[in-house]
Homo-oligomer: A and B are copies of this chain.
Amino acid sequence: MKDFSSPECQGAHRAMRDTLDVIGGKWKLVILSIMLERKWRFKELVREIGISPRILSKELQELEINKLITRTVCNTRPITVEYEATSHSRSLEPVIRALREWGVAHRQEIIGRKENAVPQLSN
């Protein structure tokens, strides 16, 4: 349990920490980013993002717990599942769009137009 009475939680960054607890990590914003586009099926996400099924499953569960996506099982053969953004996650849409645009701007800021030559953007 987070200790809300601890000194570091009294400052202006408590809310930021809360946010990062929910949408932080390597994948959540990437998932939400493309999830805002349309409905997706599990395997579509695996392929589109390039993520392992295990990790994706875990991430989706956590997003669903926080009411950022919905999971809908369809009556098909075989069973298919649709994941979709909620209105709550759509409240993040301007932020996500801004973060994407900033990524593009940063690439210009740091490297000029020299694509594919940025140590800071390496994996």
Q: Tell me the A residues contacting B by CB distance below 8 Å.
A: 1-4, 6-8, 11-22, 24, 26, 29-30, 33-34, 37, 47-50, 62, 65-67, 88, 91-92, 94-96, 98-107, 109-110, 115-116, 120-123
Cβ contact within 8 Å between B122 and A1: yes
Number of copies: 2
Q: Is the interface of A mostly helix, strand, loop or mixed?
A: helix
Cβ contact within 8 Å between A100 and B19: yes
Residues of chain B contacted by A105 (CB below 8 angstroms): 91
Cβ contact within 8 Å between B94 and A22: no
* Residue on B nearest A94 in the bound complex, by CB: B98
Cβ contact within 8 Å between A92 and B102: yes
Cβ contact within 8 Å between B4 and A99: no
Cβ contact within 8 Å between B95 and A50: no
Q: How far is the CB of A113 from chain B (nearest CB, A)?
A: 14
